[in-house]
């Protein structure tokens, strides 16, 4: 019995085509051409292609799209692969880096890191921290912090004493007003995160595990 090289699944968003990642590329193209000519569907159908662990060059991806869209009833919206390029791997490594800064971030000073940062010291007014990931401050935060500068909206900002002038997470900005500062002044050991409706929210550090459960990478016992 011939192995099925393409599995098709219907979803509310269209069709998902899971392509075999063990056969030769030429076999895959031949089978894909057969599959897309089968069936009689009305209207335009959105398609996602899942390549699995197969690496395809940009030219090969373009060919797969052409094969599917040759039948004008299909439109490829996404190509997904479990394989990442060296460039993507390096970028992921840089984003996952954790750096430690010991000292005071003074007025007019800016710290920039690609991943997470732990500051063992205070951040003075007009001091600024920009991080691709999370920002943790074991001290007083009285300046400006931008976490997730490259668009990571899961990033958080935590501090022992939370009294910033501005908090930015991803593309979202919170300018601290007297009213919000009054609330924060009564709570030490808190963190900021992007909550519902893309609004920056605050809570106690004790709640971090519930709000951002994936933040913990510790694999030992509880």
Query: Does residue 74 sit within a domain?
Result: yes
Distance in angstroms (rounded) separating the CA atoms of residues 161 and 147? 17
Same domain, 155 and 66: no
Q: How confident is the model at residue 177 (pLDDT cuts 50, 70, 90)?
A: confident
End-to-end CA gap in the chain: 49
- DSSP, res 4: P
The pLDDT, as a whole number, for residue 36 is: 84
- Span 118-126, average pLDDT: 96
At residue 87, does pLDDT exceed 90? Answer: no
Same domain, 107 and 134: yes
Distance in angstroms (rounded) separating the CA atoms of residues 180 and 202? 10
- Span 30-54, average pLDDT: 83
Boundary-marking domain end, from 48, 80, 112: 80
For CA atoms 161, 166, 169, 174, the dihedral sign is positive
pLDDT digits over 91-114, tens only? Answer: 666 667 889 999 999 999 999 998
82 and 100 Cβ atoms separated by less than 8 Å = no
Domain limits at 168?
90-215
- Span 214-218, average pLDDT: 75
Same domain, 45 and 14: yes
CATH code for the domain of 209: 2.160.20.70
Three-state secondary-structure class, residue 91:
helix
Query: Does residue 1 sit within a domain?
Result: no
148 and 170 Cβ atoms separated by less than 8 Å = yes
Same domain, 206 and 172: yes
At residue 55, does pLDDT exceed 60? Answer: yes
Say how many domains are in the chain: 2
Same domain, 44 and 103: no
Same domain, 68 and 115: no
Same domain, 74 and 103: no
- 28 CB-near residues (< 8 Å, 6+ apart): 5, 6, 19, 20, 54
Query: Does residue 85 sit within a domain?
Result: no
Same domain, 197 and 151: yes
At residue 193, does pLDDT exceed 90? Answer: yes
Does the pTM surpass 0.75? The reply is no
Three-state secondary-structure class, residue 7:
strand
The pLDDT, as a whole number, for residue 107 is: 96
Same domain, 50 and 103: no
Same domain, 195 and 113: yes
Angstrom distances, CA of residue 131 to CA of 91, 111, 169, 217? 14, 8, 10, 19
The pLDDT, as a whole number, for residue 179 is: 57
191 and 202 Cβ atoms separated by less than 8 Å = yes
Q: How confident is the model at residue 64 (pLDDT cuts 50, 70, 90)?
A: very high
Phi, psi for residue 19 in degrees, rounded to 5: -95, 135
Number of neighbours of residue 84 by Cβ within 10 angstroms: 12
Same domain, 65 and 108: no
The pLDDT, as a whole number, for residue 122 is: 97
- Span 170-198, average pLDDT: 81
The pLDDT, as a whole number, for residue 123 is: 97
Q: How confident is the model at residue 44 (pLDDT cuts 50, 70, 90)?
A: confident
Distance in angstroms (rounded) separating the CA atoms of residues 146 and 113? 11
Quick one: what percent of the chain has pLDDT higher than 90? 49
Same domain, 38 and 129: no
The pLDDT, as a whole number, for residue 41 is: 59
């Amino acid at each position: 019995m011939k192995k099925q090289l393409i599995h098709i699944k219907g979803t509310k968003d269209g069709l998902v085509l899971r392509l075999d990642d063990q056969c030769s590329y030429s076999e895959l193209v031949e089978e894909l051409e057969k599959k897309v000519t089968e069936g009689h569907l009305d209207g335009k159908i959105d398609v996602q292609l899942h390549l699995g662990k197969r690496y395809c060059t940009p030219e090969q991806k373009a060919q797969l799209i052409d094969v599917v869209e040759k039948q004008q009833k299909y439109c490829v919206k996404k190509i997904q692969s479990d394989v990442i390029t060296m460039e993507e791997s390096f970028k992921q490594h840089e984003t996952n880096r954790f750096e430690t800064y010991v000292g005071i971030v003074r007025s007019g000073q800016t710290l920039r890191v690609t991943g997470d940062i732990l500051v063992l010291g205070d951040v003075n007014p007009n001091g600024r921290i920009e991080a691709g990931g999370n920002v943790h401050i074991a001290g007083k935060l009285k300046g400006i912090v931008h976490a997730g500068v490259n668009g990571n909206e899961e990033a958080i900002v935590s501090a022992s004493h939370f009294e910033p002038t501005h908090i930015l997470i991803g593309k979202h900005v919170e300018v601290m007003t007297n009213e919000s500062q009054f609330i924060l002044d009564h709570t030490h050991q808190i963190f900021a995160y992007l909550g519902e409706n893309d609004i920056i929210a605050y809570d106690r550090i004790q709640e971090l595990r519930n709000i951002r459960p994936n933040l913990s990478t510790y694999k030992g016992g509880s």
